[in-house]
Amino acid sequence: MAAEAPPTAEPQHAAGPSGPNHGLRIFLIWLPLAIAADLIIWLVWRPHLPPGAMSTTASNQQFDIAVLAVVAAPIMLFVLVYFGYSLVVWRAREGDEEDGPALHGNTRIQATWITVTSVIVLALFVFGTVELYSSNGAGAGQGASPIQVPGGPKLQVQVIAQQWRFTYRYPQYGGFETTDLVLPTGTWVQFNVTSIDVIHSFWAYQLGVKADANPGVNNVAFTKINHTGQITVRCAELCGLWHGAMFDYGVALPPAGFQAWARVTERKLATVTAALPPYSLTYDPTTIAQMSKAMVAAGLTGAPGLYYPPQDVYQP
Ligand SMILES: [Cu+2]
């Protein structure tokens, strides 16, 4: 026997005026399940959602995922409850060869369905737009001229991607360049992400930052780190043979620890920094070969190919 799907809490008399109120029954089964699911998602699941809460951008992403789950869970539960109810109540009985009654539409159900789905989709559109704007591009970068810049002092860190390595340049500390990503807590960090060969993507997982690294382009992303810890950095854009090996680990230190590291590294790398091209928001990759040769000639590195000298991995 056929039945119409009541998409909302509206009571529907699918079995005729004298039959049970199926819509109300489905609603009463669905409501406590939906409330329970949303409470579990918000109170129990949310703190464990990726990418955690190490930075402002990470917390924002965690919040967004939780909101989407809270919206989606009641919808999914409604489909499952309706499906289960139909299987139990409206299944064909043994010996019942009859066809169900013909369907002639139901204005109330149709209007409710269109209204409810439109409201949900439009509300999520507004939510998504506000979240994208208010969280400085949501960790994906805002291109070369950000529309939303956080106030206060910012540590500038240039992320230079190349096959198959990320290097980091600190223009406020003499412009030294290192393979170690070291960041302070409690300060806005401005990543200027670029590439010197093919397209890459700078993905600092725990920070909730995943910004495209394109040659000739400066992509600006902001974040503020809440607590110290290790940061996993991966390339998130297929960039050639060793794309899968393009990862390293960074670290977030207290401000004093970061300052000490930056000053020591600036001094340690002074000779190398002098051989680098001046700090710029993008780089011409054709200069890399000459730079490599200059570094070999100056005895800074053993072999051409990589324009930065090998360094010890930073241990916090
Ligand atoms: Cu890559």
Higher pLDDT, 125 or 289: 125
> 243-266: per-residue pLDDT in tens?
999 999 999 999 999 999 999 999
If you measure from the C-alpha of residue 286 to the centroid of ligand 1, how many angstroms do you get, rounded to a whole number? 19
Kindly report, residue by residue over 165-180, the tens digit of the pLDDT: 899 999 999 999 888 8
- In angstroms, what is the span from residue 241 Cα to ligand 1's centroid? 10
Q: Residue 9 has what pLDDT?
A: 45
User: What is the 163 CA–ligand 1 centroid distance (Å)?
Assistant: 6
CA of 96 to the centre of ligand 1 (A): 64
Distance from the CA of 240 to the center of ligand 1, in angstroms?
Answer: 7
Average pLDDT over residues 2-21: 53
Using the mean position of ligand 1's atoms as its centre, give its distance from the Cα of residue 304 in Å: 20
CA of 197 to the centre of ligand 1 (A): 9
CA of 199 to the centre of ligand 1 (A): 7
Please indicate, yes or no, whether the overall pTM of this predicted structure exceeds 0.75: yes
DSSP, residue by residue, the chain: -------SS----TT-TTS--HHHHHHHHHHHHHHHHHHIIIIIIGGGSTT-SSBHHHHHHHHHHHHHHHHHHHHHHHHHHHHHHHHHHSSPPTT--PPPPPP---HHHHHHHHHHHHHHHHHHHHHHHHHHHHTGGGGS---SS-S----S-EEEEEEEEETTEEEEEEGGGTTEEES--EEESSSEEEEEEEESSS-EEEEEGGGTEEEEE-BT--EEEEEEB-S-EEEEEEE-S--STTGGG-EEEEEEE-HHHHHHHHHHHHHHTHHHHHHSPPP-SS--TTHHHHHHHHHHHTTS-SSTT-SS---PPP--
- Residue 294's pLDDT is 72
pLDDT of residue 283: 87
Confidence of residue 12 (pLDDT cuts 50, 70, 90): very low
Distance 12 CA to ligand 1 centre (A): 56
pLDDT band at 14 (very low <50, low <70, confident <90, very high): very low
pLDDT band at 144 (very low <50, low <70, confident <90, very high): confident
Distance 198 CA to ligand 1 centre (A): 8
Alpha carbon of 120 to ligand 1 centroid (Å) = 37
Per-residue model confidence (pLDDT) at position 303 = 53
Distance from the alpha carbon of residue 181 to the mean position of ligand 1, in angstroms: 16
Amino acid 271: pLDDT:
83
Distance 307 CA to ligand 1 centre (A): 17
